[in-house]
Amino acid sequence: MRLPTLLWVTALVSAYLVVAQRLGYPHAAVLAGAFALVAWSLRSRLRKWFYVPRGLALLVGSIVLWIGGVDGRWVLSSCPDCGWGSDRLEFRVLGFPGWSIEDDFSDQIHFDLRDLGWVCRHANMEAWVKHRYWGGYFCTFPCMNGCGWIVGTPNSPAMTKRVKASAAADPDLAYHLHKRYFREGQTDYFWDGLRVDWRTLAAYDEGMAREASDWLANAPEYEREQILESYPEITTDYIDSLYTYGVDEVIIVWQLQQSYWHGVGGIRGWIALRLPIDEQRRRSVFRRINERRAAEGYDADLEDFGQQFAHVYR
């Protein structure tokens, strides 16, 4: 075998082995066959009526090379240890990555742990392919539709400030939150305890929280209309009834609602109760809140985690 021929054979075999490492040997074998078909159709010296099979060989080989050699993947990745998540769309040629775009699809707990200073190396990260686009277009094997998961929202500067202030006051808070949330399954400690406090305090910092009676009397009309659309029962009598629980303050909290397509999509509001520090009064407040929740069809009781605020659910 002449040296140039030997070099070509070595290069082709090496290329096959490299591609096979990326795509698998059966897949690489199909592409090698398609490449050989295209090469034969281009270099064949057959003439006359052989133009037809050569053209068909070129067409079939090119289609197989394109569909099998170029693909796109929609990959979802997540870390069960911290709530981090990624939604990535990538296009590859012969298994090698080319263009890609990635969005952060983390759970809310991830953003708060990050602001608390928790560092996760994602040692148990999981990933799966939701869609595969053969030839960059045909979605199949796999092509699974449906919602992957509900994602959180990165904290606002005011929220981040409050979370970091909690970390400064209690350096072990990140460890205890991670342990209770991921190892012990106490998600309510986060959602009904820490996060209610952070959101309410951050709203005060942003000027988006007011005592309920004062808000009802002085809020701008557009703001009042949008919040009362969700809480039509908010009246002076309703607010006074909440004060009978023994709370220190009834608060209206609101935020600008974000729309995926149109940016700001309106105002969303809710009610928060500032809880007393006295243990006996706190027990009375939680008993009254849970009685109200039970009467309105909520199964789980709110727990006292030592938080400053609690939410009232309709």
Q: Are 76 and 128 in contact (CB under 8 A)?
A: yes
Q: Are 198 and 161 in contact (CB under 8 A)?
A: no
Shared domain check, 121 and 52: no
pLDDT band at 6 (very low <50, low <70, confident <90, very high): confident
Could you tell me if residue 169 is inside a domain?
no
pLDDT in tens, 45-88: 777 667 788 889 999 999 999 999 999 999 999 999 999 999 99
Shared domain check, 117 and 64: no
Shared domain check, 104 and 53: no
Which residue matches tokens 């979802």? Answer: 76
DSSP helix, strand, coil percent of the chain (3-state; round to 5): 50, 25, 30
Could you tell me if residue 176 is inside a domain?
no
Q: Which of 282 and 6 is assigned the larger pLDDT?
A: 282
Q: Which domain holds residue 18?
A: 3-69
Whole-number Cα distances in Å, 170 to 117, 166, 167, 176: 12, 6, 5, 10
pLDDT band at 181 (very low <50, low <70, confident <90, very high): very high
pLDDT in tens, 127-137: 999 999 999 99
pLDDT at 151: 75
pLDDT at 141: 85
Handedness of CA 85, 90, 94, 98 (dihedral sign): negative
Shared domain check, 32 and 136: no
Shared domain check, 279 and 225: yes
Could you tell me if residue 173 is inside a domain?
no
pLDDT at 263: 46
pLDDT in tens, 292-301: 888 888 888 8
Shared domain check, 301 and 237: yes
Shared domain check, 51 and 82: no
pLDDT in tens, 111-129: 999 999 999 999 999 999 9
SS3 206: coil
Shared domain check, 192 and 133: no
Query: Which tokens is 188 given?
Result: 């309510």
Examine the fold and report which residue of 49, 69, 89 is the final residue of a domain before the chain moves on. Answer: 69
pLDDT at 268: 82
Which residue matches tokens 């045909």? Answer: 138
The rounded distance, in Å, linking the Cα atoms of 39 and 50 is: 15
Shared domain check, 299 and 216: yes
The total number of residues written for the chain in this structure: 314
Examine the fold and report which residue of 23, 47, 69 is the final residue of a domain before the chain moves on. Answer: 69
Q: Are 273 and 310 in contact (CB under 8 A)?
A: yes
The rounded distance, in Å, linking the Cα atoms of 235 and 215 is: 11
pLDDT at 2: 64
Could you tell me if residue 151 is inside a domain?
no
The pLDDT > 70 percentage for the chain reads 93
Provide the domain count of the chain. Answer: 3
Shared domain check, 99 and 18: no
Could you tell me if residue 52 is inside a domain?
yes
pLDDT at 230: 79
Q: Are 80 and 126 in contact (CB under 8 A)?
A: yes
pLDDT band at 260 (very low <50, low <70, confident <90, very high): very low
